[in-house]
């Protein structure tokens, strides 16, 4: 079987269709379809089936996509075994992070990796709904992602997960608010507050739902903004309160972060990487530096 066709099958599964897979593989949809057809002839069984105007993998296609991961991991291990004799690892590692994690981690990551020499880190900032983070690993070697720290779904199959840190979420209130002088706030203290929240499907929105459940009142969301620097500016101007991450907020002088009691409000920050990509020595170096940086952040 052709290794490139196996990679194409994996991409169709992870991206959810031929067109999206073609985009990450830098192929035309027609070329992707041709590779799938050739792979099905080699396999001797149908690997895809039509569903409406789209395409999905059959049970045989799913099984072969699982096996394709094993093939890719074995090939990368073989390359790594040879590379171990070539001296220090060299190459380019593409790292994506959601915006506040990029602010928190990427400047020092570039400094640390730059001091090693031989490794180039190409950075991107991408924040997506939680269920879309895993698919980003088809376009980036390392994807820094976030999810609610307590409960909720994980990242699904097909990605290796390197935990980085648990970041508490505090209540951001205007510095002029009577709440700003409190040592902590209970969810009940926030019943009736105007909330500035992130868009639905993002981790902090799910944490707000947990806070609301403890308060016994439906949160009154007046704005939905994903950029935390904008959120801070709105809070400072008195337009509401918000949940903001303790380590990666911008420190606006007009905002006070007050811890929550009665609910464990936090988000888990992880690095996601495809199992085969994780075998690359340069990727292992970058992951190691990310873990060390996250430990430094958590220690304060």
Q: What is the mean pLDDT of residues 33-42?
A: 93
Lowest mean pLDDT among 42-46, 76-80, 120-124, 220-224: 76-80
Distant-in-sequence, close-in-space partners of 59: CB < 8 Å, separation ≥ 6: none
Question: 263: pLDDT confidence band, cut at 50, 70 and 90?
Answer: confident
Q: What is the mean pLDDT of residues 33-41?
A: 93
> Tokens representing 204?
């902090």
Kindly give the residue spans of alpha helices, DSSP state H, lying in 127-236. Answer: 203-215, 228-236
Distant-in-sequence, close-in-space partners of 84: CB < 8 Å, separation ≥ 6: 281
Q: What is the mean pLDDT of residues 177-192?
A: 92
What pLDDT does residue 291 have? 97
Q: Is the pLDDT of residue 152 over 70?
A: no
Backbone angles phi, psi at 115, to 5 degrees: -70, -20
Q: Is the pLDDT of residue 82 over 70?
A: yes
DSSP class of 241: B
Encode pLDDT of 18-31 as tens digits: 999 999 999 999 99
C-alpha count within 13 angstroms, C-beta hemisphere, residue 113:
30
Q: Which of 84-93, 171-180, 203-212 has the highest mean pLDDT?
A: 171-180
What pLDDT does residue 108 have? 97
Kindly give the residue spans of alpha helices, DSSP state H, lying in 126-268. Answer: 203-215, 228-236
What pLDDT does residue 80 have? 85
Mean pLDDT of all residues belonging to the chain: 92
pTM: 0.86
What pLDDT does residue 104 have? 94
User: CA angle, 199 as apex, 198 and 203 as ends, to 5°?
Assistant: 70
**189-193 contacts, C-beta under 8 A, 24 or more apart:** 190/215, 190/241, 191/215, 191/216, 191/217, 192/217, 192/220, 193/219, 193/220, 193/240, 193/241
Residue 280 CA to residue 282 CA, distance in Å, equals 6
Question: 153: pLDDT confidence band, cut at 50, 70 and 90?
Answer: low
């Amino acid at each position: 079987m052709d290794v490139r066709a196996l990679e194409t099958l994996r991409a169709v599964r992870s991206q959810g269709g031929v067109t999206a897979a073609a985009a990450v593989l830098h192929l035309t949809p027609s070329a992707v379809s041709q590779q799938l057809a050739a792979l099905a002839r080699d396999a001797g069984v149908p690997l895809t089936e039509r569903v409406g105007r789209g395409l999905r993998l059959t049970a045989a296609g799913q099984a072969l996509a699982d096996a394709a991961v094993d093939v890719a991991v074995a090939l990368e291990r073989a390359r790594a075994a040879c590379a171990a004799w070539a001296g220090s690892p060299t190459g380019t590692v593409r790292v994506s992070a959601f915006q506040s994690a990029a602010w928190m981690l990427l400047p020092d990551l570039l400094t640390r990796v730059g001091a090693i020499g031989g490794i180039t880190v190409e950075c991107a900032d991408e924040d997506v709904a939680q269920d879309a983070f895993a698919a980003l690993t088809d376009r980036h070697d390392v994807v820094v992602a976030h999810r609610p720290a307590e409960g909720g779904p994980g990242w699904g199959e097909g990605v290796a997960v390197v935990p980085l840190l648990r970041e508490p979420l505090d209540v951001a209130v205007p510095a002029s608010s009577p709440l700003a002088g409190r040592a902590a706030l209970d969810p009940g203290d926030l019943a009736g507050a105007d909330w500035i929240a992130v868009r639905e499907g993002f981790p902090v929105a799910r944490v707000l739902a947990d806070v609301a459940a403890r308060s016994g009142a439906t949160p009154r969301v007046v704005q939905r903004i994903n950029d935390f620097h904008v959120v801070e500016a709105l809070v400072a101007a008195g337009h509401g309160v918000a949940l903001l991450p303790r380590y990666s907020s911008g420190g606006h002088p007009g905002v006070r972060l007050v811890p929550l009691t009665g609910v464990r409000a936090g988000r888990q920050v992880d690095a996601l990487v495809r199992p085969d990509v994780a075998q690359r020595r340069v990727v292992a170096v970058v992951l190691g530096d990310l873990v060390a940086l996250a430990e430094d952040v958590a220690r304060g």
